[in-house]
Amino acid sequence: MRTMPLQKRNITNSRLVLGCMGFGGGWDNSPFSSEEVLKAEKAVEAALSSGITMFDHADIYTRGKAEKVFGEVLKNNRSLREQMVIQSKCAIRFEDDAGPGRYDFSKEHIINSVDGILARLNIEQLDILLLHRPDPLMEPEVVAETFELLKKEGKVQHFGVSNMNKAQVALLQTYTNESIIVNQLEMSLRKLNWVDQGVLVNQHEGTSAHFTDGFLEYSMEKDIQIQAWSPLGKGVFTGREEEIKTEAERNTAALVARMAEELETTREAIVLGWLMRHPAMIQPVIGTTNPDRIVACQDAVPVSEKMTREQWYNLYVTSRGRRLP
């Protein structure tokens, strides 16, 4: 059985991550309520009871309230921190008086962001810091210097990126002695396509996956943990029929439901298990605050271990809407 890159580094063996983007209420500057803290506590409890011990944040989520609410959860139960691996992301800046929405890999912004993250989460050290989407103005030597300073000061233990391609990751790694251990990308049965040569690409418009030739192979070679955000594809195969846009999606939703019934599991476990079956040991980040849906995902691990080649390809070919060449 293969081992996750993060497990090889003795960081975590949690095959799933709970994404905390939905914590804290609305994406505005209104204060969070005690109800939002209670909702977060229930989500965290459901995650831990399902074997999910890794939690994903970003400084922009609900404009900082997601981290603040999570910090309240930790403050209310100090023993939780020891059970968790916590990562957060920075570098996306909203439009303001200084400029438009933008990305910022400057030393000053990264350091200030980490200080804010730690304060909001009520923790002294972040387990993993990810750079949130590529910055075209990235100066890799500046980022490297910043990483090394944050590590020296004990503010961050490990580093990673999100939505970067192979060339961007390789360039950054050339300049820093700190290993890039995570790359977080949009991946799901709805979004992905393995073409003839085995290269993973995004079959839809946009830049959500950032894949180039050999990316999965490069990540496996370098022991970079690939994390999949939006791994359930907005629930199109797990009950949200209003999201279905094509005949292929309709057929795939029916196949997922049939497989879940045959395997006596949930549709969420089938969709996540398909991703996790890949030998790159992809780690899905499930973005829900609903305890029932969190629990519905826990079977993904055994499903991924039991899924046959034929079952995997049946899902793959059906989602493509056409046979393999």
CATH number at residue 88: 3.20.20.100
Q: Is residue 163 assigned to a domain?
A: yes
100 exposure class (CB count in 10 Å sphere: 0-12, 13-18, 19+): exposed
* Position 167 in a domain: yes
The reported pLDDT for the residue numbered 29 is 92
Q: Is 61 a catalytic residue?
A: yes
Q: Can you give the pLDDT at residue 273?
A: 97
Residue 102 covered by a domain: yes
* Cα of 311 vs its chain's centroid, Å: 25
**And the tokens for 193?**
């396509």
User: Does residue 197 lie within any of the structural domains?
Assistant: no
Residue 66 lies in a domain: yes
User: Has residue 159 been placed in a domain?
Assistant: yes
Q: How many domains does the chain have?
A: 1
Structure tokens of 251? Answer: 């057929």
CA–CA gap between residue 283 and residue 286 (Å, rounded): 10
Q: Taking the complete model, does pTM exceed 0.75, yes or no?
A: yes
Predicted confidence at residue 192, as pLDDT, reads 61
CA distance 215 to 198: 10
Write down the catalytic residue from 61, 103, 218, 316.
61
Alpha-carbon distance 42 to 34, whole Å?
A: 13
Residue 321 has what pLDDT?
Answer: 85
Q: Is residue 35 part of a domain?
A: yes
154 falls within a domain: yes
For 131-183, the pLDDT digits (tens) are: 999 999 999 999 999 999 999 999 999 999 999 988 999 999 999 999 999 99
Q: Quote the CA–CA distance of 268 and 280 in Å, as a whole number.
A: 20
Domain limits at 166? 14-186
Mean pLDDT by 10 residues, the chain (325 residues): 93 98 96 97 98 98 98 97 98 96 98 98 98 96 98 98 93 97 92 45 37 74 96 91 88 96 97 95 96 96 96 92 79
Task: Tell me how far apart the alpha carbons of residues 107 and 89 are, in angstroms, rounded to a whole number.
Answer: 15
In total, the chain counts a number of residues equal to 325
Asked if 294 contacts 288 with a C-beta cutoff of 8 angstroms, the reply is: yes
Output the pLDDT for position 244: 87
Spatial separation of the C-alpha atoms in residues 57 and 292, rounded to whole Å: 21
What is residue 213's predicted lDDT score, i.e. its pLDDT? 58
Cα 228 from chain centroid (whole Å): 5
